[in-house]
Amino acid sequence: MNTKLLFIFSITCLCILSSSNGRTGPDDGLPVRAVNLGGWLVTEGWIKPSLFDAIPNKDLLDGSSVQLKSVTVGKYLCAETGGGTIIVANRSAASTWETFSLWRINETTFNLRVFNRQFVGLDSHGNGVDIVAVANAPSQIQTLIHVVRNPNDLKRVRIRASNGFYLQIVEDDFKFIKENGLNAVRIPVGWWIASDPNPPKPYVGGSLQALDNAFSWAEKYGMKVIIDLHAAPGSQNGWEHSASRDRSQEWGQTDENSQQTVDVIDFLTARYANSPSLFAVELMNEPLSPGVTLDSLTKYYRAGVEAVRRHSQTAYVVLADRLGAHEPRELLDFAKGFTKVAIDVHHYNLFSPMFENLSVQQNIDYVNINRAQQLSHITDPNGPLVFVGEWTAAWRVKDASKADYERYAAAQLRVFGQAQFGWAYWTLKNVKEHWSLEWVIKNGIIKL
């Protein structure tokens, strides 16, 4: 190619990139190279299971499914028609109507929720002794289950941390993050943080003070903070990390929980707007379609952007795409109506059956080809920036060597490094070694 034409072509490309709604200038700190502080303010038991060892009856935590069989008649208890009427004990086999979800009150006391999401309790409109499942919210008369076990099976006392932390992210961790080439942290929080220090049960207080500490440490080490609303009221995806108590997904079904979520965003932005480390506010993590409709999500996102802008004109606003949506570009036109916005996508070579039997090289090829194409597909020079908010060096390859992990991690760093907003590894600390950025850095698998 003629060098003069090449020079003109380069200038043209530069002009196109500079017109992006998300980018405000060459010195605004992009792209971020971040790590998620997962499992810290929003507990995820798989990240460090030993923290649950001292909980009595730990097999009966929130969301556990139980089937109850009458010793007298040898039949299973059943919520007739799945809920809305009486409880019977006449089923010879157990399926969905015979399965109850636990809402734990303490180690021996529980609420039971049935298939149609009503709670089991005494019939308050009848004789007071019949058992029904008609209430849409638990109350005293829905507190039926008191589990009493052999004392030899109980372990010490239940741990209920007064400060709300799960993994201790301390100042030295921020120092480690900074010294290893990262410039930001993405901090998942739950909606109950806005009512700290006395959040509603079963949540515990202390997470707001911990987040204050994180901002202080980030400011000391010159790092950016991305606040990520990981758990919305009612749960946006039904998973435990969104604080669903029994795998139900109810966010967006009422204006009340949508407005409550906006209020949380408003609270967080107002609290940290004057911090030089507040870089972005992510309005929601991993909304799952079809339970979360595009209309309900964009209505909330519009209100969320407005809530952030009431307090900050400089912080980016991150919009997560809907998992399971058929059109990965569905938020692009909507997002073009705002400035300083980014779209968060998560890329794991893990959860789809298609990764089950892929070889080392096939996984690396998938990153180099498919992931690169996916990022290119949602990158619009006139639209929002792209953020790979979660990825990891973990995969489904068995008996991979250290060299295999190094090549796989390097491919992801290379491809995800093309995202204009940047990327964030999941997560800083984890008992599963390749999920822990600290471990993979210390063991030479990732070099930044």
> How far, in Å, CA of 133 to CA of 122, rounded?
8
**Residue with tokens 């180690």, as numbered in its chain:** 107
Token pair listed for 108: 């021996």
Q: Are 178 and 219 in contact (CB under 8 A)?
A: no
- Reading the block at residue 312, the tokens are 């900050």
* Angle, helices 294-309/255-272, rounded to nearest 10 degrees: 30
Length of the chain in terms of residues written: 448
* Token pair of 250 as six digits: 């109810």
- Long-range CB contacts (< 8 A, 24+ apart) of 75-81? 79/114, 79/115, 79/116, 79/118, 79/120, 79/133, 81/116
Instruction: From the candidates 44, 98, 282, 390, give the one annotated as an active-site residue.
Output: 390
- The verdict on whether 44 is a catalytic residue reads no
Instruction: Establish whether 98 is a catalytic residue.
Output: no
Element (H, E) at 442: helix 437-442
Instruction: Tell me the sheet residues that pair with 77.
Output: 89
Asked whether the beta carbons of 347 and 310 are under 8 A apart, the reply is no
Q: Is 230 exposed, middle or buried (0-12, 13-18, 19+ CB in 10 A)?
A: buried
Q: What secondary structure does DSSP assign to 260-326, as a single string?
A: HHHHHHHHHHHHHTT-TTEEEEE--S--BTTTS-HHHHHHHHHHHHHHHHTT-SSSEEEEEPPBT-S
Report the amino acid identity of residue 178.
K
Q: Supply angle C-alpha 441, 444, 446, rounded to 5.
A: 60
**What are the C-alpha distances in Å from 84 to residues 32, 79, 300?**
50, 8, 31
Instruction: Dig out the tokens for 385 from the structure.
Output: 């920036």
Q: Which of 286, 306, 327, 438 is catalytic?
A: 286
Report d(CA 243, CA 228) in Å as an integer.
14
Are the CB atoms for 73 and 220 separated by under 8 Å?
Answer: no
Is the distance from CB of 343 to CB of 387 less than 8 angstroms? yes
Q: Which residue is listed with tokens 């969104």? A: 242
Catalytic residues: 286, 390
